Amino acid sequence: MKIQELAAYLGATLHIPEGQEELVNADIVDLAPIDTAGNGHVTFLTNPRLTKQVEGSKASAIILGQALKDAPMAQIICKNPRLAMSLASQLFYKAEHSYEGRSKMAFLHPSAEIHESVVIYPFAYVGERASIGKGCYVYPNAYIGEDCHIGEGCVIYPGAVLMQGTQVGRNVIVHAGAVLGGDGFGFTPSADGNVKIPQKGTVLIEDDCEIGPLATIDRATFAQTVVKRGTKLDSQVHIGHNVEVGEHSMLCGQAGVAGSTKIGKRFVAAGQAAIGPGLEIGDHVVLGPRAGMTQSQKNPGEYMGMPVVPAQDWRKQAIAIKKLPDLIKKVNQLEKRLAELS
C-alpha cells in the first residue's frame, strides 16, 4: 500500500517533508513502534512523551495528531491518531488459522446444523440441535452444547465452553477458556444449608463482541443474561446472572458485575472494578481501577474509589489522605500545648 493510499483510507491529511516528495508513492508494508520502525514501516505517535523519539525514527511515515516540524518522514495527520493506528493495523494483520475442513476426531452430533464452510479442529464437541453459521472456526477442545446458536464469522478458541442454549451473534470472538452459560450463583441459605436455585435461563452475546480468555458469563435464572453489540470483555472478567451490558462497553481484566445489574451504553470498567447486585448504570459511565460501585449511578462521568465518588473528588481525597500523618502530628502537638496551658 502506498503512503498516499493509506492517508486516503484513514481520511487523514498527508504532509510530506520538503525535498522528499517521492514519499507520496512509497510502499508501506507493516506497522511498527517508533523505536523499531524502519524503511517501509508506518509508525504512530499516541503518547506525547515519545515525541522526542520521532526525529530519530527511520519509519517511512508516522500517524499523529499534529504536524511536527522536525519529523523526517511523511506525516499522516488525524484527529484521532489512536483510532487511525487501530484501523491501519487491521490492514496489515489478519487472523490466520492453521487448519481447514472438519476433523474426523471432532464430535459433531447428527442433529447439529453446521454450515459447510465451518472449520472444526480435532477434539471439538458440538451437541444436539446446535447450529454454527458460515465462516466460523471452532478450535480443539471447544465445547458447544445443546441448542447453542453461533452466527456467521465467529471464532471459538481452544477450551472455550458454550453451555446449553447459549446464543452468539455474528463476528464474535470467544477466547480460550472462556465459559458462556455456566450456572448463575443462585442459592438460598436455610437452616439445613444453601439451597440451589435452578438456573433455567440462557446467555445472549450480540454481534461484534469479544470475550477474553477465562472470562465467565453466567446464564440467567429464568430469562437471559445479555452482552450487547460491540462489547469487549478482557481476561477473567465475570458477568453474573441476569446482567445486561450495554452496547460498545469495555470491561478490563478481573472486573466483575454482580447479578441483575443493568448497564448502559459505552460503559468502561478498569481492572478489578466491581459492580454490586441489582444496580442500574447509565450510559457513558467510567469506573477506575479497583473502584467499587454499591449504588445505582445514571449520570455519565468518571468514578473512582470504594464506594465510588466522582474521580475529581477521589483525587482530592487521595491527596488529603497523604497529609493525614502530618495533620495528626500537628493535632497531637496542639493538644499537648493546650494541656500545658490549662
Give dist(CA 214, CA 202) in Å, integer: 19
How far CA 247 is from CA of 2, 203, 282, 322, 326, in Å, comes to: 35, 15, 12, 39, 47
Catalytic residues: 241
Cross-strand bridge partners of residue 144: 126, 162
Beta strands in 71-178 (DSSP E): 74-77, 107-108, 113-114, 119-120, 125-126, 131-132, 137-138, 143-144, 149-150, 155-156, 161-162, 167-168, 173-174
Cross-strand bridge partners of residue 162: 144, 180
Give dist(CA 218, CA 185) in Å, integer: 8
CB 45 within 8 A of CB 70: no
5 Cβ neighbours under 8 A, 6+ residues apart: none
256 Cβ neighbours under 8 A, 6+ residues apart: 237, 238, 240, 273, 274, 275
The secondary structure of residue 280, as a DSSP letter, is E
Give dist(CA 208, CA 127) in Å, integer: 24
Can you read off the three cell numbers belonging to residue 159?
Answer: 477450551
CB 241 within 8 A of CB 184: yes
CB 157 within 8 A of CB 195: no
Helix H segments across 163-225? none
